[in-house]
């Protein structure tokens, strides 16, 4: 059980759940300090020995006559700049006289069972009040009547702690909030590697690991979205930590807009971690009586390697972020027409693709771009969410009914946040596109960004989407967003409020999603932002699965999905089997490999089965049946990364059911090595005493044999293929090739006999 142990006399608070401990204290000057964060430790009456004071000749001391107390050398929970601490602050408030100096001091606390929700923002939640405990610590600046409440929620069965802050102006004068971090944590040393997840369109979330050094190392977004280029997550691990052993801290931001995540190492080896809304061009008017809620940040700790830390984040996403009927519901296997047809389709063509997909067991047909307005090319139609009369003269109602009559669900692509100049919406309301008065408007993919900071704009798009979703049986929408914000200016607000645009924009996106889910509770939304450009914890609050990347090449997807899995569970990763040669890379990969990669995600197809051979269609049918058999294991089990694909000729991963009775292992050859060594891969997560049968979807020397869990984890699974030797002829494993793969199916058959 999670608990918050309060020591009134020493003003210490110990958050613990038997897995982790987080200990803070309000000191003699009223400052809230961090004393410890890590593996759970027994409670004691007083942890104040962890606060050390020494005189340093260059220190700026807080109180006259006291040469020991300096904020420069204390590990604070919500630090401020300007009264001795010269590191990055957690908060900056501009006052009417221009001063930015604040002095937040401890005022009070409350402890409550459960977890409060936030208005207008995504946040974690609990299913019952025994699942978590929340500590609220109130800090107060007496001169300004400024109140900051720091929220800490510790979950009973998870190493994850949720952090955020509520900032309230209780004074009589207006203030300007220039910086408001969601989490700040000072660590006592700097012996950490930082791993961030960087990339670009079509190569998202590749891990980049580097040792911390004195100074600031940061990732951020200034694009109006979390972005392809740096995901709002990071690991801080001890050197040598790997997937199965070692200490690590994980940070994740439950927000989909501009962010700042950084580590600052000072001259005395203290590491300050911070994550929050990026303060570049951010300023928020905090009128008397007004409050500002920071988005939520999640922090996790492990002493047992990255896989263990991932399990903590995966569990929180599945149990405490994803909501509604799709939280535990099996996600449908879908087929999307985009790479099969692009804009070249009509109703009969779509139904024919759906019919062939239904025949092999696919459950959902998704109509992608091109169905609406005057969308005869990518320069027109965005903003007009009515059926395209040229392609669909009978509208969507009949198409949806024909798809439903096949026994399939029907889904639809939208890009609600964008507009083309060639659209009825833009012609009627050109002022609704974000622009700076008197300056040219930049475009991306012939698109312009609607001002979702304006409620009137959001209302219009909601009404259009509501009307369409009410007109046909639409079970799923793919929510795309294909460009970032430029010329960011809100013509509905004055100069003093321009710093609020980017945050208000993402609040508008959240509000539209929430309204649609309230109106259509069973709707499945798959978020997409030109692929994986907005893959974050905030989106998962509304969209339980996210298109992982526009790059559907199986080899590239090994890299993308491997990195994504560090913080995000398989059930959140949109993954499809697509056409070959691949449309992003031109690479030719076997159908089995495309499936064996996509299967570790939500799973679907993006092709026309009518263009496959009979043999390939039969293979697709077997793939669908296998996924249906293992879908619960894939989406609810524990995922283990076994062998990373980066700078490697091979990769491997696996997923194990919660009862450890079933497992699926993905084994991938990236590049063939002639006359290669014999190989094996150590499995994880199995029950050591259970006996398992192992079968393989490809040639294998061990298929059909039985092994104990301890053998498979300590000795390893033999996955030698035909490249070990001279292929062909007498080789019992036949042949193999570049980009080959196989799945090992591991099933419990009994308990190991012990003497």
Residues 6+ apart with CB under 8 A from 245: 304, 305
Helix H segments across 579-692? Answer: 591-598, 614-636
Total H helices, total E strands in the chain: 12, 39
Query: Exposed, middle or buried, 56 (CB in 10 Å: 0-12/13-18/19+)?
Result: middle
* Tokens linked to 320: 């405490």
Residues 6+ apart with CB under 8 A from 338: 368, 369, 413, 606
Residues 6+ apart with CB under 8 A from 161: 15, 20, 22, 152, 153, 154, 155, 298, 299, 300
Q: Which of 480, 490, 536, 721 is the catalytic position? A: 480
Is 480 part of the annotated catalytic residue set? yes
End-to-end alpha carbon distance in the chain:
37
Q: Which of 141, 196, 368, 550 is the catalytic position? A: 550
Contact (CB, 8 A) for 115 and 293: no
Contact (CB, 8 A) for 544 and 524: yes
Is 550 part of the annotated catalytic residue set? yes
Which of these, 499, 502, 506, lies nearest to 283 by C-alpha position? 499
Please state whether the peptide bond connecting residue 581 to the residue before it is cis, i.e. omega within 30 degrees of 0: yes
Contact (CB, 8 A) for 118 and 162: no
- Strand pairing category for 573-574 and 215-220: unpaired
Q: What is residue 420's DSSP assignment?
A: -
433-441 long-range contacts (CB < 8 A, ≥24 apart) are 434/485, 434/486, 434/487, 434/488, 434/489, 434/490, 435/487, 435/489, 435/491, 436/487, 436/488, 436/489, 437/489, 437/491, 439/487, 440/487, 441/486, 441/487
Residue positions annotated with a catalytic role? 480, 550
């Amino acid at each position: 059980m999670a608990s918050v142990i309060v020591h009134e006399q020493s003003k210490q608070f110990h958050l613990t759940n038997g897995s982790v401990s987080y200990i803070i204290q309000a000191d003699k000057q009223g400052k809230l300090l961090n004393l410890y964060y890590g593996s759970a430790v027994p409670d004691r009456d007083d942890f104040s020995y962890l606060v050390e004071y020494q005189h340093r000749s260059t220190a700026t001391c807080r109180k006259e006559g006291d040469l020991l107390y300096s904020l420069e050398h204390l590990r604070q929970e919500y630090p401020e700049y300007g009264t001795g601490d010269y590191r990055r602050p957690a908060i900056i408030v501009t006052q009417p006289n221009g001063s930015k100096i604040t002095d937040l001091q401890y005022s009070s606390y409350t402890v409550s069972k459960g977890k409060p929700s936030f208005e207008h923002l995504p946040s974690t939640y609990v299913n019952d009040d025994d699942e978590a405990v929340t500590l609220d610590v109130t800090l107060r600046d007496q001169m300004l009547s400024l109140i900051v409440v720091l929220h800490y929620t510790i979950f009973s069965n998870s190493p994850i702690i949720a952090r955020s802050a509520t900032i309230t102006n209780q004074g009589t004068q207006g203030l300007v909030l220039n910086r408001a971090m969601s989490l700040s944590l000072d660590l006592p040393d700097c012996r950490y590697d930082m791993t961030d997840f960087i990339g670009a369109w079509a190569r998202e979330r590749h891990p980049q690991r580097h040792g911390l050094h004195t100074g600031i190392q940061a990732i951020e977004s200034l694009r109006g979205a979390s972005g392809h280029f740096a995901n709002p997550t990071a690991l801080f691990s001890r050197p040598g930590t790997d997937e199965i052993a070692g200490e690590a801290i994980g940070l994740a931001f439950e927000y989909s807009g501009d962010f700042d995540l950084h580590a600052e190492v000072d001259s005395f080896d203290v590491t300050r971690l911070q994550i929050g809304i990026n303060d570049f061009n951010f300023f928020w008017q905090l009128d008397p009586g007004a409050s500002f809620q920071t988005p939520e940040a999640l922090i996790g700790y492990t002493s047992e390697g990255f896989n263990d830390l991932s399990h903590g984040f995966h569990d929180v996403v599945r149990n405490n972020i994803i909501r509604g009927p799709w939280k535990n519901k099996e996600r449908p296997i879908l087929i999307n027409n985009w790479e099969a047809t692009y804009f070249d389709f009509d109703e009969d063509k779509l139904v024919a693709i759906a019919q062939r997909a239904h025949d092999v067991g696919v459950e959902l047909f998704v109509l992608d771009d091109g169905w609406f307005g005057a969308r005869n090319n990518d320069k027109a139609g965005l903003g007009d969410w009515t059926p395209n009369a040229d392609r669909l003269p009978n509208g969507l109602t009949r198409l949806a009914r024909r798809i439903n009559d096949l026994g399939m669900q029907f889904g639809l692509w939208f890009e609600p946040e964008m507009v083309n100049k060639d659209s009825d919406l833009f012609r009627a309301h050109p002022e609704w596109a974000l622009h700076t008065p008197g300056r040219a408007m930049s475009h991306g993919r012939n698109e312009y960004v609607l001002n979702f900071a304006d409620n009137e704009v959001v209302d219009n798009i909601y009404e259009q989407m509501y009307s369409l979703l009410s007109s046909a049986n639409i079970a799923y929408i793919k929510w795309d967003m294909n460009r970032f914000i430029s010329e960011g200016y809100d013509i509905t607000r004055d100069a003093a409020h321009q710093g609020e645009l980017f945050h208000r924009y993402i609040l508008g996106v959240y509000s539209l999603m929430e309204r649609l889910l309230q109106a259509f509770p069973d709707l499945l939304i798959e978020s997409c932002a030109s692929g994986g450009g907005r893959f974050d914890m905030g989106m998962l609050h509304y969209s339980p699965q996210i298109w992982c990347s526009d790059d559907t090449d199986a080899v590239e997807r090994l890299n993308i999905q491997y990195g994504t899995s560090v913080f995000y569970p398989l059930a959140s990763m949109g993954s499809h089997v697509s056409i070959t040669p691949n449309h992003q890379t031109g690479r030719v990969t076997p159908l089995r490999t495309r499936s064996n990669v996509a299967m570790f995600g939500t799973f679907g197809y993006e092709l026309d089965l009518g263009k496959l051979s009979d043999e390939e269609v039969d293979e697709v049918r077997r793939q669908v049946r296998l996924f249906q058999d293992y879908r619960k294991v894939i989406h609810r089990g524990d995922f283990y990364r076994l062998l990373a694909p980066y700078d490697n000729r091979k990769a491997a991963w696996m997923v194990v059911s919660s009862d450890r009775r079933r497992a699926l292992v993905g084994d991938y050859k990236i590049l063939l090595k002639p006359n290669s060594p014999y190989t094996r891969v150590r499995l994880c997560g199995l029950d050591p005493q259970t006996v398992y049968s192992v079968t393989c979807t490809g040639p294998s020397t061990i298929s059909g044999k039985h092994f104990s869990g301890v053998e498979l984890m300590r000795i390893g699974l033999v996955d030698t293929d035909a490249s070990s030797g001279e292929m062909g002829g007498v080789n019992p494993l036949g042949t193999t090739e570049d980009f080959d793969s196989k799945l090992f199916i591991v099933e419990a058959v009994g308990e190991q006999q012990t003497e």
